[in-house]
Structure 1
Amino acid sequence: MQAQFTVQIDSFHKISKIPNAWSNEDYLHLMALMGLDDGLEGMDSTELREMCMMSLNDLGDVEAAKIVLSHLFIDEVTEGKIDQLANDMVGDRMWEEYSDCLFHERFFSAYALLREAFNGVFAQPTGVEFSVNITAKDADDLTLFDESLHAAMVRLLSAGLSPDALMHRLYEDQIKGTHFPESEGILWKLELVASEGLSRQYKMVSSAFWFEQFANVEQFDANSHADTVDEDE
């Protein structure tokens, strides 16, 4: 069932990294992959990060990219594919171009880390952070975001984009249909900020590749619907 909403863009700005994307545990694992995990006990988070960045820089750009990708895609991508991607990263924009969008967020964070480690060399990742206020005609309509948050939200937001936007060209079947697994690769972070009566406010992070147009959008009306849950699941 299609539910109707009014969507207001409350805030919108571009980002080149996701806050807190890298933890001490991530840095320790990167150091271990480089064979440099001895003597790190008692090192504070700032020192650990600086040590990791310097160590990556010492490897050179391609080798450093291999380490970062091996950490991010452990058991998901073959060693040979990691080698290929690491070589391609310097000239490409994998957070936009990689065929599986479920990998895009991790590529974005890889570029952010490597660009800092090498003071450039790698392309600067382009992301967006924005918040929206959603107002329903009926309070029950808001429950569709409880049923399938990412899918329902991407469908809703797609209505605020121009008809020739990449979102429509690549995912029109999923937007109109009832199965949209790629939606979690489109909206990387999605958080409910406030809920009152007929309205909810959400904050989200994504790629400028999808939502850059929202820099010039204030409000729009749109429909959305939840994914259909397979009874066998």
Structure 2
Amino acid sequence: MIVQVKIISIKAVTELPGYWSNDDFIQLLDKMSLPDADKLKPEELKDLLHMAITDFEPEEAAEIILTYKLGDKLTPGQIQTIAHDMTDEKVAETYADPSFHYDLFNINQLLFKAFKGKFPNTEASVIVLEMTSNEDIEVNREVLTKALAQSLSERSIIQRLYEDQVTGKADFDDAEKIIWLYHTKGENAYEIITSRYWIDKEDIENGEYEADILFFEGED
């Protein structure tokens, strides 16, 4: 499938609005022994949570938040390991299973801002592109990742780790984990959110190009 791609913009951000809700803040404050936070004004919740977080040691605070967000997906032992590693590693980039990177990014940045730098700063990339084709396109994470991959230099992480996948020689299940969020921004335009680890502005070599999207057809 041939598509025409034009990258409109790409920027690095350290926070993704909408991940944390006021209810999340209230629940976390309760777990940090500050009940009745639901009686506070919504605009006060985040600042109070930052203060509550710093009443704990960094690793302990990380464990509380990790358990709240990921306790149904990770074992207590895994959570303890991640909490320990978070203070000096960018776990939102290095954790072995990329399906956790989106949550780990947001958890890390909450801790980073509360502790004012005791956790490594990590960044996400927000990309806006236009994509058109003479063929019918079913836009999904795999199509978007493969379209973007053809603008990236050979040194990029995606090109180095997923060469077979982006060229249609193997299944590309991890595309669902690489692109965290996407939505339309008008006709033929899309906003994509991913980790800067996966797609960095410095890795983009072409801003406007034709991409050939190839899909794995399996083995006979």
* Distance in structure 2 (CA, Å) of the matches to 1:60 and 1:13: 33
2:199 partner SS: helix
Q: How does 1:1-233 map to 2 (within 5 A)?
A: 3-36=1-34, 38-136=35-133, 138-140=134-136, 142=137, 144-145=138-139, 149-175=140-166, 176-177=168-169, 179-195=171-187, 200-212=188-200, 213=202, 217-225=206-214
Per-residue displacement from partner, 1:153-185 (whole Å, max 9, x unpaired)?
111111111234211222233322463221122
* Distance in structure 2 (CA, Å) of the matches to 1:100 and 1:185: 9
- The CA deviation at 1:227 is 7.3
Say whether the 8 Å CA contact 2:184–2:191 is kept in structure 1: yes
Identity %: 27
Say whether the 8 Å CA contact 1:190–1:203 is kept in structure 2: yes
* Distance in structure 1 (CA, Å) of the matches to 2:72 and 2:216: 29
Say whether the 8 Å CA contact 1:17–1:125 is kept in structure 2: no
1:194 partner SS: coil
Which runs of 4 or more aligned residues in structure 1 lie more than 6 Å from their structure 2 counterparts after TM superposition?
Answer: none
Per-residue displacement from partner, 1:33-54 (whole Å, max 9, x unpaired)?
2233x22232111212122111
Per-residue displacement from partner, 1:107-164 (whole Å, max 9, x unpaired)?
111111001111111111121111001121x142x2x21xxx0111111111111234
* Distance in structure 2 (CA, Å) of the matches to 1:130 and 1:174: 21
RMSD: 2.0
* TM-score, with length taken from structure 2: 0.90
Structure (1 or 2) with the greater helix fraction: 1
* Distance in structure 2 (CA, Å) of the matches to 1:31 and 1:76: 22
- Mark the runs of 5 or more structure 2 residues left unpaired by the alignment: none
Which amino acid is 1:207 matched to?
S
* Distance in structure 2 (CA, Å) of the matches to 1:164 and 1:216: 11
Say whether the 8 Å CA contact 1:7–1:222 is kept in structure 2: yes
Say whether the 8 Å CA contact 1:15–1:127 is kept in structure 2: yes
Which amino acid is 1:201 matched to?
A
- The CA deviation at 1:186 is 0.9
Say whether the 8 Å CA contact 1:12–1:215 is kept in structure 2: no
- Tell me which residue corresponds to 1:231: none
User: 1:184 and 1:44, CA in 2 relative to 1: closer, same or farther beyond 3 A?
Assistant: farther
Say whether the 8 Å CA contact 2:126–2:194 is kept in structure 1: yes
* TM-score, with length taken from structure 1: 0.85
- Mark the runs of 5 or more structure 1 residues left unpaired by the alignment: 229-233
